[in-house]
Amino acid sequence: MEQQKGGIYRYGMVIDLDKCTGCGTCMIACAAENNVSVRPDQTDKERTITWMKLYKITNGKEFPHTEVSYFPRPCMHCDEDGRGHHQPSCVSVCVATATKIDHNTGIVSQIYTRCIGCRYCQAACPYGARYFNWWDTYFPKGKGLERYLSPEISPRMRGVVEKCTFCHHRLMRAKTQAYAEDRTDIEEHEYTTACAEACPAQAITFGDLNNPEHKVSQLIKSPYAFRLLERLNTKPKVYYLSTKDWVRKMADNYLPGEFKPVTKVTG
């Protein structure tokens, strides 16, 4: 894995697919944390909004050899090259400068009040991580759902695109706490995403990929680490770990004979 270059911090995520049980807690935690609107009919999956989405994949074999794995998919927060030439695909197509990559943190921002809803970014994103608001924010009345809304998250209006922000408000919260304690740097445990915090199997790890002391930067050195559609050169900051060859093979489009399974494992 190449080392990320750019600004001071490069926040990223490592998801261990061998640990993931597919329980969906990350999806629930994400939606609750980020005031993600629901639909009266949540079964209409073309219109529902899931910043963190769980995919189920199988190796397609007959019963005794069937294997299943689950793929949590947040926004990949694709990286820039640090020279301003290479931008995340959603950023380079945005006509309204509503989405940008923060050079200091590597987080791809989405400003709802700036978004004009052209959905270019949605088309440009190879991961389907962006969602369009076809309606205004809706929470069923009388269910007490509005009491769970977070004041730290701005609600989205009809006609804008939204996506995972790596729980950016938690970074703000951690910064504010640090300033109150006369610090300017943030510890590893102070900033983590809602999905990583909620995962009961602890499959999701979050931290600074640039900091060699953070757990994520050690995990991505594993030979089993891979990224989704890595060869598109989008430089995602979300890494996956899987010891299963067929899972790693599914993460990209390989020609026959092109995929190289991990044969030598050291350490």
Partner 1 sequence: MKNQASSSQKTSKFGLTSLFNRFISFEKGSTFLPPFSFGVWIFFLAGLIPSLIVGWIIYPMALYSKQPQPMNFNHALHLNPEIVDGIEGDTETERCLFCHTFREDGTFAGIPKLDKCLECHDDPESPLGETPEEQEFLNKYVAEEQEIPWLSYFRQPDCVYFSHIAHVKIGDQDCETCHGDFGRTEKLPAYKVNRMTGYSIDIWGRNIAGYKTNTWDRMKMDDCAECHTENDLEENNACFVCHK
Q: Given the rule CB under 8 A, which residues bind partner 1?
A: 100, 102-105, 107, 109, 111-114, 152-155, 165, 168-169, 172-173, 175-182, 184
CB-nearer residue toward partner 1: 176 or 263: 176
Task: Report in angstroms how near the CB of residue 149 gets to partner 1 at its nearest.
Answer: 12
Task: Report in angstroms how near the CB of residue 99 gets to partner 1 at its nearest.
Answer: 8
CB-nearer residue toward partner 1: 8 or 123: 8
Task: Report in angstroms how near the CB of residue 25 gets to partner 1 at its nearest.
Answer: 24
Task: Report in angstroms how near the CB of residue 179 gets to partner 1 at its nearest.
Answer: 5
CB-nearer residue toward partner 1: 103 or 221: 103
- Residues 38, 49: Cα–Cα separation, whole Å: 7
Task: Report in angstroms how near the CB of residue 252 gets to partner 1 at its nearest.
Answer: 29
CB-nearer residue toward partner 1: 23 or 174: 174
CB-nearer residue toward partner 1: 13 or 247: 13
Task: Report in angstroms how near the CB of residue 13 gets to partner 1 at its nearest.
Answer: 17
CB-nearer residue toward partner 1: 131 or 166: 166
> What are the tokens at 215?
């757990």
